[in-house]
């Protein structure tokens, strides 16, 4: 699996280190963007990842960091494990 340090972001979210979580999430999303733009991801998986990212953005805008961490840990991480990187 690709190393996007999701566990570190989840820990930062759950321990109240929101600035660090946001910074780490930004780095993670830039890495993920490169992978998704490579064209090596099926349209079905891409659609599921996009939905998770949209949901993630909504909760981040609402500053609901527990929901952000839940989406990262229980939804997005499982989808990313399916990537062939």
Q: Using one digit for the tens of pLDDT, what is the confidence trace for 17-43?
A: 999 999 999 999 998 998 888 888 899
pLDDT band per the 50, 70, 90 thresholds, residue 1: very low
Q: Residue 48 pLDDT more than 70?
A: yes
Domain residue limits at 63? 6-80
Gap between the Cα atoms of 67 and 10, Å rounded: 10
- Number of structural domains the chain divides into: 1
Query: DSSP states of 1-34 as a string?
Result: -----HHHHHHHHHTT-HHHHHHHHHHHHHHHHH
Whether 63 is covered by a domain: the verdict is yes
Gap between the Cα atoms of 6 and 26, Å rounded: 11
Whether 32 is covered by a domain: the verdict is yes
Report the chain's mean pLDDT, rounded to a whole number. 90
pLDDT at 38: 86
Whether 1 is covered by a domain: the verdict is no
Q: Residue 2 pLDDT more than 60?
A: no
């Amino acid at each position: 699996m690709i190393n996007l340090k999701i566990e570190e972001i989840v820990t930062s979210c759950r321990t109240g280190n929101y600035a660090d979580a946001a910074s780490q999430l930004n780095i993670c999303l830039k890495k993920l963007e490169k992978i998704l733009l490579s064209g090596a991801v099926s349209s079905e998986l891409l659609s599921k990842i996009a939905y998770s990212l949209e949901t993630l953005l909504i909760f981040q805008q609402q500053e609901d960091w527990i929901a952000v961490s839940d989406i990262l840990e229980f939804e997005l991480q499982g989808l990313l494990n399916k990537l062939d990187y």
